[in-house]
Chain A
Amino acid sequence: MLRLPDREDFQNFFLIARREFVTRIRSRFFQFGTLILVVALAGYIVLQAEVISKATSTVKVGFVGPAQSLAQPLQAAAASSGLTVQVHDVSSVGAGEAQVRDGTLDALVSGQPTGPDVAVKDKLDPTVEATLDGLVKETVLNQAIAQAGGDPSTILAQVARAGIHLVQLDANATRRTQSTVVGLFVAILLYTALTLYGQFVAAGVVEEKSNRIVEILLSTVRPRQLLLGKVVGIGLVGFLQLAVLGVVAVVTATRTHAISLPSVTVEAVVAGLVWFVLGFFLYALMFAAAGSLVSRQEDLASVTTPITLIIVGTYLAFFYAAANPDAPVTIALSIIPPFAPVLMAARIATGDAQAWQVAVAVVLTLIEIVALNALAARIYENSVLRVGSRVKLLEALRGGT
């Protein structure tokens, strides 16, 4: 009974998808839910940026006596490496040390600028230490050059030009820490969205089945159109919500400098959205088929749990993948369809996925979607009109009510 879809089929598919999309977008659940998620995500990123800047950027240093001549050069040199040094004039070494002990000061510099004592509670910020150390050496050098009769500024300029050649052996090291966090976010969001919207599909199927509107619909629409229309309509709602969150994440992360590499976030958002589409088709078809087996919302959990567990599994696998980015198991799992959507998206975000791996994962997932579509449609067609006790999976596959 193979027949190609005609114009009317497309029209019905479009009508069904549009109804699903419009009624859900209009619901308070969606509007408030999206708002809460946006606020939570933006809030988290802002908070994160706040913590990062607090943790690294301000150091309070007290100066006593002749060492005070180091204060201005330290501030200027530290600023060029992104560090703010707050300078405090302190009356005596005793008073200064007390302030270091109680945490008002991070460090106390006293004595001669050519060999100052630096008192800290337990450790000194390494940038401050290195900068200060350099300044002291420079001061000593200046004095020595002047004594030898040279011109310190000429020699210092010469020294400044000399330098090391930096060879980056692990250029991604900084990127890695940030991108692991981004990857985790992608994994969490994808896992949540796929589970939630998949459940919506299953619940939608059961709703139509339990209130019998499916009888009216199926007298004018083919089961496959109804199934696909529902999946696409609900999927678009999920896509829209994720896209909004993605844009919010990129904008807040770049504005607040929570992430120094905006390309990481953009890449992660795009990968997340593409893999949501692929993953959604994969799981939503399973969810729809599962939903068609039961007649009441209360029975839904019993049929959808196995699918939810698969998605939970892929989410958990991310933690293994993040720790072992290049392990064969990680690569294999991120390519195999039931795991690919969450894992591959997260690995793209962490920058670990190679192009060929992504390509293979996409192709395999597409193949599985096509195969699953046929299977899911069959289960759905055979069980969606059977009200009452749960339809057995084998019966649904075999057909013939």
Chain B
Amino acid sequence: MRSVPAPGLELHGLSKRYGNLQAVRDLSFDVRPGEVFGFVGSNGAGKTTTMRIVLGTLLADVGDVLWAGKRIDFEVRRHIGYMPEERGLYPKMHVGEQLVYLAQLHGLSETAGLQSANRWLERLQLAARAKDDVQKLSHGNQQRVQLAAALVFDPIMLILDEPFAGLDPEAVDSMSEVLRERAVAGIPVVFSSHQLDLVERLCDRVAIIQNGHLVACDSVDALRARGPVRLWVDAPAAPKGWAARLPGAHVIRTDGTRVLLELAGSTDDQTVLRAALATGPVHEFRRDVPSLLDIFREAMTEGRVAAAS
């Protein structure tokens, strides 16, 4: 396996405008070797544009893309495994031949390309289809071929645009496994997705982008820990409205005898617990950890508010 020097991919202040549309605005983040990095945003947020700028198929108006601390060039880009959003394969070419061809274009010898193609076809359970035209394969299998096409030349980084779109759960699992494995092998793995549960499960870090600009970028845990602490408390014997009288906390929602509290920054959750116990038995006392979807929604709302003001 290739080892990647410590700073992997860095984006510095990228901007890109198409006519009147500011597709990407002052975007900066980095992706480190060995991590799976999720790239999240609504349709048209600028994910694909950003990926294309990194791949060099699109030029940024301003900003820099660095690899291993140096400005990225064609030689580096040649070794990036890329999976475009709209699938790119020759429909009337054999699966195996196509992989060998792409491996050769990325600098492998014919023999090495053939070995690597066979290895990946085996690994992705496509060996039996090697001599079929790509167009004869099901959508899911075509997607696997597409992944194999990005992996066949032993890339130094993977950039995958919506690799999970339209896959069945089994295929999602096998693709996730391959991505994890590549990251463990030490290369940066970047992918975009709308399936936030998947991103949450798979990624070490996540960037959220909206209208071309970065809303948040952090580890999933850190993103979840951001914002105020929320607690679910179920104290069935408590008098009505007890929670509203708690200092340093306010009620977000009531669900039967349960209340969801949001604590002010300085409030200690143990104080809340003591107050709850004081009313009688406490059946539930649980930190409400937001899902990535919640964070995403919140980030979108904040972004819109920020954009409006």
Query: Chain A interface (Cβ within 8 Å of chain B)?
Result: 8, 11-12, 15-16, 19, 23, 207, 211-222, 385, 387, 401
Contact = CB atoms under 8 A, between A and B. Distances in A.
B90 A215 contact: no
A401 B56 CA distance: 13
A216 B102 contact: yes
Contacts of A385: 52, 57-58
28 contacts: A11-B104, A15-B105, A23-B90, A23-B92, A23-B93, A207-B90, A211-B87, A211-B90, A212-B84, A212-B86, A213-B90, A214-B88, A215-B55, A215-B57, A215-B84, A215-B88, A216-B102, A216-B149, A219-B56, A219-B57, A219-B77, A219-B80, A220-B78, A220-B105, A385-B52, A385-B57, A401-B18, A401-B58
A213 B104 CA distance: 15
A222 B107 CA distance: 13
B7 interface: no
Contacts of B285: none
Given A215-B88, A216-B88, A15 B104 contact: yes
Contacts of A23: 90, 92-93
B296 interface: no
Given A15-B101, A219-B56, 10 more contacts: A23-B92, A211-B90, A211-B91, A212-B85, A215-B82, A216-B82, A216-B88, A216-B149, A219-B80, A401-B18
Contact of B101 (A19, A214, A401): A19
A211 B134 CA distance: 12
Contacts of B78: 219-220
Nearest to B93: A23
Contacts of A216: 82, 84, 88, 102, 149
Nearest to B16: A401
Main SS of chain B's interface residues? loop
Contacts of B107: 8, 220
A215 B105 CA distance: 13
Which 6 A-B residue pairings sit nearest by Cβ, starting from the closest?
A213-B88, A212-B88, A215-B84, A212-B86, A220-B78, A219-B55
Interface string B106-125: 11000000000000000000
B172 interface: no
B251 interface: no
A353 B105 CA distance: 45
B52 A215 contact: yes
Nearest to A400: B59
Contacts of A215: 52, 55, 57, 82, 84, 88
Contacts of A15: 101, 104-105
A214 B89 CA distance: 9
Contacts of A212: 84-88
B97 to A, nearest CB: 9
Contacts of B74: 222
A217 B55 contact: no
Given A217-B105, A218-B57, A219-B80, A211 B18 contact: no
B60 to A, nearest CB: 11
Nearest to A14: B104
A12 B107 CA distance: 8
A219 B106 CA distance: 9
B59 A401 contact: yes
A17 B34 CA distance: 37
A200 to B, nearest CB: 14
A360 to B, nearest CB: 40
B113 to A, nearest CB: 10
Contacts of B88: 211-216
A125 B87 CA distance: 73
Contacts of A11: 104
